[in-house]
Amino acid sequence: MLVYEFKLKGKAQQYRLIDEAIRTALFIRNKCIRYWLDNSKIGKYDLSAYCKVLASEFSFAKKLNSMARQASADRAWAAISRFYDHCKQKIVGKKGFPKFKKRGHSVEYKTTGWKLSVDRKHLTLTDGFEIGQLKLLGTYDLHFYQLSDIKRIRLVRRADGYYAQFCIAYNREIETEQTKRMIGLDVGLTHFYTDSDGNKVDNPRFLRRAETALKRLQRRVSRKLRRGQKRSSNYIKAKQKLARFHLKVSRQRKDWACKLAQCVIQSNDLIAYEDLQVRNMVKNHKLALSISDAAWYQFRVWLEYFGRVYGKITVAVPPQYTSANCSSCGKEVKKTLSTRTHKCSCGLVLCRDTNAAINILIKALSTVGHTGTRAQDALNAWEELSLYQESAMTLDKDSR
């Protein structure tokens, strides 16, 4: 599967209609959650049937394309099924009980409700909102794919405008020559990662570098906010500027993680790394900001995605004792976080992170390990199922 993204260029009225479609999709999603709460033994197809009831009760819901309503119901069922899975797996802590959402950022269309122009440069939305024709701004060429290969379209609202994402049924595989190299990676905060050969990559710290500018923009937003009064246009402008700056930082982090992961995959045949639970690690409030800024999980997602594209092996190993054990004799050498050098009674003196990277590689070679969550299983910025995963589920169902 491929996801191509284009920026949408249209009129202000069209953007307002897209916002209305997004609010309607969110309304249907929340209504499906409420329907599930009020009725026991509700399944996925019951929620899809409930969309027709909502369309008959609410005129604004009827404007939304029928398949777009079903896509909103699919989002609700995804949250419900994820909660059921966590309960069956007996995950410790919160199980992710489905919640109502206050804000929506996207609306999805499946195979109806839209059409492309002959030159594939314009997108026309044909549902009841009458959004009309929008220009697609981007470098991708959709002429390489049949219209039947486009399984879903998502309209996304971001701080700097509106975007259209096309999910295309295409199996991307790139053949490369074998490098006959294996590597273990130990991620950290001082250096982004240290490999088993002793090479280190500096942590870019995009958020830390932009912190001064972000604080200044945040102060401007706070000064223009008047409690109990209508939000002024200056407040809205300051808030939008702050949001665009945050978006820029997140894009820098994503671009850097993507390029670095591709470089690592192309240079090695086997890549081993720790199976870190980042969601639990950020509960440490002293390190949460630095861990989030490092984007370990995003780097891992791209590693596994490019590993599948290039036909390379990626293995996630348990992180326990990778820093404590000696990579030469296997003896446990306890160290504090401030101790950066590994010294063992066997005579091995090595950088702490290099020792951990070697242990990670040894674990990957001595045990089966397991591959981690691939890119299509990752959550997007709004904690919804990604367009990639939902389309893959649809294709799997159709292939049966």
pLDDT in tens, 115-134: 999 999 999 999 999 999 99
> How many whole angstroms separate alpha carbon 118 and alpha carbon 9?
18
- Of 32-36, 59-63, 192-196, 381-385, give the lowest mean pLDDT range: 381-385
Which pLDDT value is given to residue 371? 53
Which pLDDT value is given to residue 368? 52
State the pTM of this model. 0.82
Q: What would the two tokens of residue 27 be? A: 């309304």
- Per-residue pLDDT at 374 exceeds 70: no
- Per-residue pLDDT at 392 exceeds 60: no
| pLDDT (average), residues 232-245 | 93
Q: How confident is the model at residue 38 (pLDDT cuts 50, 70, 90)?
A: very high
**DSSP structure class, residue 148:** G
- CA distances in angstroms from 130 to 55, 114, 127, listed in the order given: 17, 11, 6
Strands of the sheet containing 150-158, edge to edge, are 106-109, 150-158, 161-168, 2-9, 132-137, 122-125, 114-116
- Per-residue pLDDT at 346 exceeds 90: no
**Is the CB of residue 29 less than 8 Å from the CB of residue 22?**
no
**Is the CB of residue 304 less than 8 Å from the CB of residue 374?**
yes
| pLDDT (average), residues 31-47 | 91
**What proportion of the chain, given as a percentage, has pLDDT over 90?**
57
Q: How confident is the model at residue 279 (pLDDT cuts 50, 70, 90)?
A: confident
| pLDDT (average), residues 76-102 | 89
Going by DSSP bridges, is the β-strand pair 313-317/191-195 parallel, antiparallel, or unpaired? unpaired
> How many whole angstroms separate alpha carbon 326 and alpha carbon 346?
9
Of 311, 330, 313, nearest to 321 by C-alpha is 330
Select the more confidently predicted residue: 398 or 89.
Answer: 89
- Of 53-67, 164-178, 328-342, give the lowest mean pLDDT range: 328-342
Which pLDDT value is given to residue 15? 95
- Of 2-11, 127-136, 386-395, give the lowest mean pLDDT range: 386-395
Mean predicted lDDT score pLDDT of the chain? 86
- Per-residue pLDDT at 144 exceeds 50: yes
- Main-chain phi, psi angles of 126, to 5 degrees: -115, 15
Select the more confidently predicted residue: 223 or 399.
Answer: 223
Of 76, 60, 245, 79, nearest to 158 by C-alpha is 245
137: which strand partners? 7
Which pLDDT value is given to residue 2? 87
Q: What's the full length of the chain, in residues? A: 400
- Per-residue pLDDT at 381 exceeds 70: no
Residue the block writes with tokens 């500027």: 241
- Per-residue pLDDT at 340 exceeds 50: yes
Select the more confidently predicted residue: 281 or 21.
Answer: 21
> How many whole angstroms separate alpha carbon 311 and alpha carbon 270?
10
Which pLDDT value is given to residue 80? 94
Which pLDDT value is given to residue 28? 95
Select the more confidently predicted residue: 157 or 342.
Answer: 157
